[in-house]
Structure 1
Amino acid sequence: MATPITIMKNDELLFKAANIQEAARFLADHLNTTISRCYDPIERSYVYNIPYYVNEDEFCFVTPEKIAANRRKELEETDHHNARRFWLVPSNPEEFDLTGAFSRFDTIHWRRSGNYEKGDIIFIYVSNNVQKVRYKVEVVKGLVLPNEVQYNKMFWKDEEKFKQSKTWNWSRFRLIDQVDTTELSLAHLREHGVKGNIQGPQKVTGVLRDYIMLFFNYDLTKDYYPDEVPESLEEGKRKSVTVNVYERNPFARKQCIDHYGVQCQVCDLNFENLYGEVGKDFIHVHHIVPLHDIQQGYEVKPIQDLIPVCPNCHAMLHRKENGDYLTIEQLRERILNRT
């Protein structure tokens, strides 16, 4: 099957190629380089939506999603060198409070100690007294320069390291999931391929990668919706960007779903039961008191203050009737009265 590729340069259309060979020839001429050097960045870009940077220019290569998905599957099943890369990276809790940072933010800046690229998956191993893999994150930006980083001293425990950090290059990570299991302890990791101690970033493939992946099942920060969950457990704190946005916290969402499950608490809809595998684990989370009615921060209680609902019921809960929002109980009663 041909792979048509659209080449974008700095968000503007540059060229439409009928296949990857034509795209590589065009890019080689455009950059005055060899064709062989162009295939890998083109493939990684259209498969994983990873930009290719040359000096100050950003190139993106786009193909229909079905073609990209099929190629992605081929790359990962064969451990191709262009497949998404997985890393095992240590974190020292005596230097930086990673748990605290992820309790407030779903994306953080991390020292670029490896050649991380957008789309890479990183398993963070917490050292010292913990000695376990605790977090799975995705690289959302491979290179972040020091002048682009907002330094937050509150999570640093090592004053000297914090001072040094202002000269580092960084990457930006998005939290995907967190676990706490002895199965991901250093002893078990060694049984599956880790050699010695984990003292620096290392790529993981094959048996070790597959073993670690067994214990991560969720994407905590995927598919957020308005008024779901704030970034900090203290809700109601607005921050002005272009418009007012509310901070989000994936941990609160997970605690809510772990308690109630993924069935709508108004109409009882379960997406997996209705749609099959594609609906597995899909649900909105509704904040019982609308966030825009809260002007002062308070400590949100995920089980008392949040509730899983389907998108339709969620939309109805955010519509006013005679100036007031419907409660969960009122909306549920209306549905029951119509059946």
Structure 2
Amino acid sequence: MASTITILKNDQVLFEATSIQEAARFLAEHLSTAISKCFDPIERGYVYNIPYTKGKDEYRFVAPNHIASKRRYELEERGHHNARRIWLVPANPREFDLESAFSLYETLEWKRSFNYENGDILYLYVSGNVRRVRYKVEVIEGTVRPDTVEYNKMFWLDKDKLKDSKQWEWTRFRFVDEVETTELSLEKLRNHGLRGNIQGSMKLTGELGHYIMSFFEKDLTKEYYPEEVHETLEEGNLKTIAVNVYERNPIARKQCMEHYGVQCQVCELDFEKTYGEVGKDFIHVHHLKPLHEIQHCYIVDPVHDLIPVCPNCHAMLHRKENGEYLTIEQLKARILNTSLC
């Protein structure tokens, strides 16, 4: 029977448990500590991918996605102390051009002004002339090693801040959603519980938290079509799906759809024409370049790199035949040949 929770020590499989109780018992014995001290790091580990450090050793806990997703939902519904934390964070557009950065990149580094952890949600309030909450991001690395930070001069408008940033501690987050509404202006936020101005990171709770979150509907547990699957831990027979993040970047998707429209570019299906109002603006976006060819600093071009396709064609484009992915043209030809038979 497949294990429920796998314990890794310094990226090596240490133990496979069939329950969190068994995992906690093993970890307690391994670390010579009380079992009660092991449940929280294990739970936060497999739910939010938060590592647990003991001395020079790093422990990670891995569970099947459906188990981790279910537990995450339970924790957040109950307001459990292990649930992810929600923050309201100011962003100064005179210092850093967030809008341009998000149009090109899925993930960004951010100053670690508080102890952000993996899984935390940050709602970014853009100050200056914008003065409203614009973005929702998820922390994917609470603490980023300085040697992995990219100091991209392209987006820094304040060169003195760029120079100072070389001394900062960093967090890495991924873009989740963007909302453009005056309902999230500073004045509206004050009407729903905000006191004073937003001058530093603050935890979101109560009425203000519920109000801001109600405008962002992107589901973090939603699964996307993977482009490649590779084994990361052969000993534990674990697999990780490398998801093509460029297909789920809302800004890039929007620019792609503005250029091509929302009709499938393979089979020409238009969901609104076929299904009526319920199908309006529904379409998948396919990334044309194979994931293994993309470099770390790759910048996506929404017109030349992305193309709208229906879910069926999208699924076929992500399947291999004789070791190769079908191109848009090959799939079109196959559909045409089938229709002529």
- TM superposition score normalised by structure 2: 0.73
Residue 95 of structure 1 aligns to a residue in which SS?
A: coil
CA contact (8 A) 1:107 1:173 kept: yes
Residue 155 of structure 1 aligns to a residue in which SS?
A: coil
Residue 212 of structure 1 aligns to a residue in which SS?
A: helix
Q: Deviations over 1:17-72 (max 9, x none)?
A: 45333433432343344433322111111222322233442212233444433322
CA contact (8 A) 2:265 2:307 kept: no
CA drift of 1:169 comes to 0.8
Alpha carbons of structure 1 residues 301 and 58: separation in structure 2 relative to 1, 3 Å: closer
For 2:300 and 2:23, the matched residues in 1 are separated by 53
CA drift of 1:188 comes to 1.9
For 2:24 and 2:200, the matched residues in 1 are separated by 35
Q: Which residue of 1 aligns with 2:141?
A: 141
1:214-225 paired onto structure 2 within 5 Å: 214-218=214-218, 223=224
For 1:171 and 1:142, the matched residues in 2 are separated by 5
Q: Which residue of 2 aligns with 1:126?
A: 126
Alpha carbons of structure 1 residues 11 and 121: separation in structure 2 relative to 1, 3 Å: same
CA drift of 1:222 comes to 7.0
The alignment-based identity, stated in percent, is: 49
Q: Give the number of equivalent residue pairs.
A: 300
Question: Quick one: which amino acid aligns to residue 308 of structure 1?
Answer: V
Q: Which residue of 2 aligns with 1:194?
A: 194
Q: Which residue of 1 aligns with 2:340?
A: 337
Q: Which residue of 2 aligns with 1:75?
A: 75
C-alpha RMSD of the superposition:
4.0
**Which of 59-68 and 36-45 deviates more?**
59-68
1:269-288 paired onto structure 2 within 5 Å: 283-285=284-286
For 1:63 and 1:301, the matched residues in 2 are separated by 35
Question: Quick one: which amino acid aligns to residue 15 of structure 1?
Answer: F
Residue 42 of structure 2 aligns to a residue in which SS?
A: helix
**Which of 124-133 and 249-258 deviates more?**
249-258
Q: Which residue of 2 aligns with 1:306?
A: 307
CA drift of 1:171 comes to 0.8
Q: Which residue of 2 aligns with 1:277?
A: none
CA drift of 1:7 comes to 1.5
Q: Which residue of 1 aligns with 2:49?
A: 49
**Which of 302-311 and 33-42 deviates more?**
302-311
Question: Quick one: which amino acid aligns to residue 192 of structure 1?
Answer: H
CA drift of 1:16 comes to 3.2
Q: Which residue of 2 aligns with 1:236?
A: none
Residue 154 of structure 1 aligns to a residue in which SS?
A: coil
- TM superposition score normalised by structure 1: 0.73
Within the alignment, does 1:112 sit opposite 2:112 as a pair?
Answer: yes
Q: Deviations over 1:242-278 (max 9, x none)?
A: xxxx9958322233347734867515386xx99xxxx
CA drift of 1:284 comes to 3.7
Q: Which residue of 2 aligns with 1:30?
A: 30
For 2:214 and 2:192, the matched residues in 1 are separated by 13
Q: Which residue of 1 aligns with 2:171?
A: 171
CA contact (8 A) 2:246 2:300 kept: no
Alpha carbons of structure 1 residues 335 and 97: separation in structure 2 relative to 1, 3 Å: same
Alpha carbons of structure 1 residues 303 and 5: separation in structure 2 relative to 1, 3 Å: closer
CA contact (8 A) 2:106 2:245 kept: no
For 1:90 and 1:144, the matched residues in 2 are separated by 20
Q: Which residue of 2 aligns with 1:208?
A: 208
Question: Quick one: which amino acid aligns to residue 214 of structure 1?
Answer: S
CA contact (8 A) 2:262 2:283 kept: no
Q: Which residue of 2 aligns with 1:182?
A: 182
For 1:302 and 1:162, the matched residues in 2 are separated by 31
CA contact (8 A) 2:86 2:120 kept: yes
CA drift of 1:123 comes to 0.9
1:92-111 paired onto structure 2 within 5 Å: 92-111=92-111
For 2:214 and 2:108, the matched residues in 1 are separated by 24
Alpha carbons of structure 1 residues 286 and 58: separation in structure 2 relative to 1, 3 Å: closer
